[in-house]
Amino acid sequence: MLAALALLALVGPWLSPYAPEHPDWNALSAAPSLSHGHWLGTDAIGRDTFVRALYGLRLSLLLGFGATAIALAIGLAYGASAGYLGGRSERTMMRGLDVLSALPFLLIVILLLTLFERSLWLLLAAIGGYVWIDLARVMRAEAARLREQPFVLAARAAGATTLQVLRWHIVPNLLGLALVYASLLAAQAILVESFLGFLGLSIDQPSAGLGTLLQEGTQELDSAPWTLLVPAILLVATLACFQQLGDALRDWLDVRGTSNAPDGTMPAAIPATSA
C-alpha cells in the first residue's frame, strides 16, 4: 500500500489536465464530481484538490525519506561509535545526547525556518537533525552488546582497528535494527513536516506538503470540507503504512529474535509506543 501511495503521488497528477497552482474560475469550491473533471473537488479559488493532494503527498514522502536517510546516517554512526568505544568516551557521547535532547529542537527548527529562506535542503537538514537522537540511543545500546561478542573480540585480537571493527562487524550487524527503526523515523519526519506546514513554515507555494493543505483546508471547512478530508486521509494512510512497514521489517529481519517471541512485542530497544 505504501508503494501504491508513492506511485500514485508520482504519476497520479498526470491523470488530470489541471495543474496544482492554476485555478479554474468556473469551478470555485466545486464538490467532488466526475462531470466537471475535478474528481475530488476544488478549493475556494478553483484549484484541483486531487492534483494538489498528490503533489502534497509527493513532497511529504520526499521529505520523509530524505530526512530519514540523514537521521539514519548520523544516528547509526554516532550510536555505533559510542556503543563500541565504551568507557569514558561512551559516557561523554551519551551526555552530549542528553544535552541535545534537553534543547527545544522543534523551536530551533521553527527559528531556522523563520530566519532563513525556506528551501527543501534546509527543511531536510532541520527535520533530519531533529529525529536522529532516539535512533542513536537505540544503536548505542545494541553496539554495546555487540562489542563483547566473540567475533568482535576475535577481530580486535587479530589487530583490526576501531574503524575496521565498526565498518566490518558492528555497523553491518546494526543495519537490521536500524531499518526497523527507520520506518518509525520516516513517519515521525512526515509528521514533523506536516506540523511545520500547518504553521506555515514548510516550503513556499506552489509546492505544498500535506500539512500546508491541512492548514488551508481548515479555513474552508464550512464551504469545502473535502479540501481538508482528502489530505487528512492521505496523511493518516501514509503514517499507518510506515507503522505496518516497521512491523513487517521486524518480523522479516527477525531483529534480535523478536519474531519468535510469543507476544510478538517490539525489541527492548524499540518501545512499541514510539510510533
Task: Using pLDDT thresholds of 50, 70 and 90, give the confidence band for residue 18.
Answer: confident
Query: In the chain, what are the domain boundaries?
Result: 48-274
3-state secondary structure 187-245: HHHHHHHHHHHHCCCCCCCCCCCHHHHHHHHHHCCCCCCHHHHHHHHHHHHHHHHHHHH
CATH class of the domain at 48-274: mainly alpha
What would the pLDDT profile of 248-270 be if each residue is shown by its tens digit?
887 877 654 443 443 443 344 44
CA atoms of 227 and 105, how far apart (whole Å): 31
Biggest CA–CA distance in the chain, Å, is: 77
For residues 255 and 267, what is the distance between their CA atoms, to the nearest angstrom?
Answer: 7
Q: Closest Cα partner for 274 from 182, 197, 144, 176?
A: 182
pLDDT(105) > 50: yes
d(CA 18, CA 148): 60
pLDDT reported for residue 233: 94
Q: pTM for the complete prediction?
A: 0.78
pLDDT digits over 207-258, tens only?
Answer: 688 888 998 888 888 888 989 999 999 999 999 999 888 888 878 776 544 4
Looking up cell 510469543, which residue turns up?
262
115-174 pLDDT, tens per residue?
877 778 888 888 888 788 889 998 999 999 998 899 999 988 888 888 999 989 999 999
Summary mean pLDDT of the chain: 83
- For the segment 69-103, what is each residue's pLDDT rounded down to a tens digit? 999 999 999 999 999 998 899 899 999 988 888 88
